[in-house]
Structure 1
Amino acid sequence: MDTISNRQLTLLRKLQKKKYREREQLFLVEGERAVEQVIQNGTVQVTHLFWDENQQLWKRPGWSERAGQLLSAKIDPQSFREITDTDNPQGILALCEMPPEVALDELSDKQGVVVATDRIQDPGNLGTILRSAAWFGVQGLLLGKGTVDLFNPKVVRSTAGATGTIPFVNVNLEQTLSFFEEKGWQVLLLDTSEHAESLRTVEAAPQTIVVIGNEANGVDPSLMAGRNRRVVEIPHPQKEKQVESLNASIALSIALYALSGQT
């Protein structure tokens, strides 16, 4: 097996930064489980596999076949640690082409649920949101301004291989919600504001957007007003709350589960 070139190593280091990912339209997937899942999904083009030369995963059953199918190169352990995002790298990286954003017209013609993120800043939260959305068959992701980059290494790792499985587009959320409303979409904003309705009372429309807000501040008040928008909350099962609110990704998962039996 060839050793990684200096040019390739420089590229992998640069891909830790968003501006280079956007310029090159490339991103990294790290770890055995995530890389295998991305390859199996087939929705993202894997261009190269890179291996920690000490761990030698390419010699193991299963991975030896992958190493023969895709362009591969080994990396010395120190350099491998420098370009990975974990304390204990698993010995494999996949270099992938970034899928193109979906057109709003195309997404608005679909039936089902679309998830919109309003300034989700924690990479782990966004990764889990994508993973849950893939599980429940969400039709698309509207990534509002202020949301962490979908191809941030921490986000990609948190998706457990679901990256690329759902159409996505980066948007001005206020304008985009209005656009979808004009197309007949119902908008549900997950929030614990004073006038929020219980999620139990909500029926999913054939076309429904679920908006999940910022971890600290919830949904931006400017998004609350709209002709087909409803502010909803997950009802607390006890009279006295032991915690103030749910984690954003967990709240979305509960909402998607609740709506999945109605669509």
Structure 2
Amino acid sequence: MTNPRADRVRDVAKLAQRSARQRRGLFLAEGPQAVREALRLDARRREAPAAESGVEQRPLVAEVYASAACLERYPELDDLATATGALRLATDEVLAAMADTVNPQGIVAVCRYLDVSLDDVLARSPRLVAVLCRVQDPGNAGTILRAADAAGADAVVLTEGSVDVYNPKAVRSTAGSLFHVPVVTGTDAGGLVARLRDAGLGVLAADGYGAVDLDTLQDESAGRRLGTEANAAPQASRNAPSSYALEAPTVWLFGNEAQGLSDEELALADARVAVPVYGEAESLNVGTAATVCLYASARAQRLGVGANG
């Protein structure tokens, strides 16, 4: 493809708009990392046997546009994209017209929506779930999804009022993790938490004013693992012992960038947990706080004694 004003090019470029994405059920993955992970997932879907219903999964990747230079630089991408039967060579000018970035990286994939239902998540007996409550910045949403992936979380949920996870900036911010972690979108926080609690998960709210310190939870978890008393934890934990076991199956609630969690959202939690700040920073960005909290749970679950589940 050589004409940046072609109808097909304009159709792809329109996927930067939420209305076009929702109407068509398609979104853009840009750059070698994101496209590689999309293509790898697409290949697994194509190779997987039909589901129990006998219906094969629909291919994830609908179209791939790439420059010859990019495919030469990344032979694996060439092989994966060619296998889809949807690869088209395009000039840099065409890719620039399609992409949302100022400096496109030579490859763009048009992908089908891949969010799942809460029923799908619950069927897998999750132990660690991140819930984004009205998180509106695409960079923050992408960062939390990427952190959840790295921490081995079982799912990420975006409640009503959160950013569209298929926003091009959000997709880029996940660095490919969007294609690794099940994502549930558009849920009501109250109903969601009720169902997760019924499935045996406890609920923690990340809150800078929380009565429980994350250090306390970590120290108590270590104390149980080592067979020592919780009150023997280091003095760095400034709060009284909590009643929540960090190693238990857990849902973390993360709030809006400017407003945090609402009173209604905080009321859903078993405990409000503050990430300690040792320096002079007023607070942590929600993406950073989420990373710390998710890793704390992941480590406790992998090393713990399975308290409360």
Partner of 2:154: 139
Taking the aligned partners of 1:200 and 1:10, their CA distance within structure 2 comes to 51
Q: Assess if the C-alpha contact under 8 Å between 1:213 and 1:248 holds in 2.
A: yes
User: 3-state DSSP class of the match of 2:79?
Assistant: helix
Deviations 1:179-232 (A, max 9, x none): 322333211000112x42101223225321001111111111111224x52100
Q: Does residue 56 in structure 1 map to residue 72 in structure 2?
A: no
User: 3-state DSSP class of the match of 1:261?
Assistant: helix
Taking the aligned partners of 1:47 and 1:127, their CA distance within structure 2 comes to 22
Deviation at 1:56, TM superposition (A): 3.3
Structure 1, unaligned stretches of length 5 or more?
none
Structure 2, unaligned stretches of length 5 or more?
46-58, 218-244, 302-309
Partner of 1:86: 101
| Structure 2 counterpart of 1:184, from 176, 180, 200 | 200
What is the TM-score normalised by the length of structure 1?
0.87
Partner of 1:95: 110
Q: Does residue 232 in structure 1 map to residue 277 in structure 2?
A: no
Q: Assess if the C-alpha contact under 8 Å between 2:126 and 2:249 holds in 1.
A: yes
Q: Does residue 253 in structure 1 map to residue 268 in structure 2?
A: no
Structure with the greater alpha carbon radius of gyration: 2
Deviation at 1:16, TM superposition (A): 0.9
The structure with the greater share of residues assigned to strand is 1
Q: Assess if the C-alpha contact under 8 Å between 2:126 and 2:155 holds in 1.
A: no
Q: Does residue 29 in structure 1 map to residue 29 in structure 2?
A: yes
Taking the aligned partners of 2:115 and 2:135, their CA distance within structure 1 comes to 21
Superposition RMSD in Å: 2.5
Q: Assess if the C-alpha contact under 8 Å between 2:61 and 2:109 holds in 1.
A: yes
Q: Residues 135, 106 of structure 1: CA spacing in aligned structure 2 closer, same or farther, 3 A cutoff?
A: closer
What is the TM-score normalised by the length of structure 2?
0.75
Deviation at 1:106, TM superposition (A): 4.3
| Equivalent residues in 2 for 1:36-185, closer than 5 Å | 36-41=36-41, 42=44, 45-52=60-67, 56-60=69-73, 62=75, 63-70=77-84, 71-104=86-119, 106-107=121-122, 110-170=125-185, 171-185=187-201
Partner of 1:217: 259
Deviation at 1:7, TM superposition (A): 4.2
Q: Assess if the C-alpha contact under 8 Å between 2:127 and 2:201 holds in 1.
A: no
Deviation at 1:152, TM superposition (A): 0.5
Q: Assess if the C-alpha contact under 8 Å between 2:2 and 2:91 holds in 1.
A: no
Taking the aligned partners of 1:257 and 1:83, their CA distance within structure 2 comes to 37
Taking the aligned partners of 1:248 and 1:166, their CA distance within structure 2 comes to 19
Matched positions, count:
256
